[in-house]
Amino acid sequence: MTGNYTLMMVKPDAVRNGNAEAIFQEIKKHGFEIVAQKKLQLSRAEAEAFYVVHKERPFYGELVDFMISGPIFAAVLKKENAVPEWRTLMGKTDPAEADEGTIRKMFATSKGENAVHGSDSNDNALNEIFFFFSSREIVAQSGIVQLNDIIGRQPE
Ligand code: CMP
C-alpha cells in the first residue's frame, strides 16, 4: 500500500568510507525490508535531474558534484509508514543536530556529506523509486510488489 515504501541512497562518502554494509544492517535491524537494491554511479545529468527541486539553492552545484564523486547504493525500503520511519532513523540533515542512534549521527560528517538520503513525502518516494528501478526489480519476501501497492491506485 502507498505509504509503505521509500527510496533511500547510501551517498558517496559512506560508500567510500566502507560504511554501506553497516548502514544496511541498521536498516534491517529496525524492521525495514529491502525490496530493491543496486550499486551505481550517477552521471552529472542524472544527479542534476534527481535534485532538480534544489536547483535554485546555493548548495546545488556542490551537491551534484558530491553525488557524482563516487558510487552510491539506491534501495527501496518497505515498512508501514516508511517515509517518516526512515527519516527518523536517518536523523537530521546536519549530523551535529542528529539524535544519538541515528544513521547520520553515526556515519555523516557534514550537512553536505551526510551518508544517506530519504524521500520526504509519499509522492516523492514514488518518483524517486521509479527514477532508479523498474517495477520488476522491486521484489518483497511476499513476491513482486504490484505497482498499485506503491502508487495507491490502479496504473492507467
Ligand atoms: P538530501 O536528503 O539528500 O536532500 C538534499 C541534500 O542537500 C541534503 O540531503 C544535503 O546533503 C544537501 N544539503 C542541504 N543543505 C546543505 C547545505 N547547506 N550545504 C550543502 N549541502 C546541503
Q: What's the pLDDT band for 1 if we cut at 50, 70, 90?
A: low
What pLDDT is attached to residue 146? Answer: 86
Gap between the Cα atoms of 54 and 95, Å rounded: 20
**Predicted confidence (pLDDT) per residue in 15-28, tens digit:** 999 999 999 999 99
Nearest CA to ligand 1 atom 3: 117
CA of 37 to the centre of ligand 1 (A): 22
Name the percent of the chain in helix, strand, coil, to the closest 5: 45, 20, 40
Q: Whose CA is nearest to atom 20 of ligand 1?
A: 112
List beta partners, residue 38.
74
Q: Which of 143, 152, 92, 148 is nearest to 122 (CA)?
A: 152
Region 5-12: mean pLDDT is 98
- The string of pLDDT tens digits covering residues 10-63 is 999 999 999 999 999 999 999 999 999 999 999 999 999 999 999 999 999 999
Atom from ligand 1 closest to the CA of residue 120: 2
Percent of the chain at pLDDT exceeding 70: 96
The owner of cell 553536505 is 112
Q: Which residues are catalytic?
A: 117
Would you say residue 148 has pLDDT above 90?
Answer: no
Q: Check residue 58 and give its pLDDT.
A: 97
Ligand 1 first shell, C-beta below 6 A: 54, 59, 62-63, 93, 111-112, 114, 117
> How far from 90 is each of 83, 97, 155, CA to CA, in Å?
11, 12, 31
Radius of gyration of the chain (CA): 15
Domains of the chain in sequence order = 5-151 (3.30.70.141)
Confidence of residue 93 (pLDDT cuts 50, 70, 90): very high
Q: How far is the CA of 63 from the centre of ligand 1 (A)?
A: 7
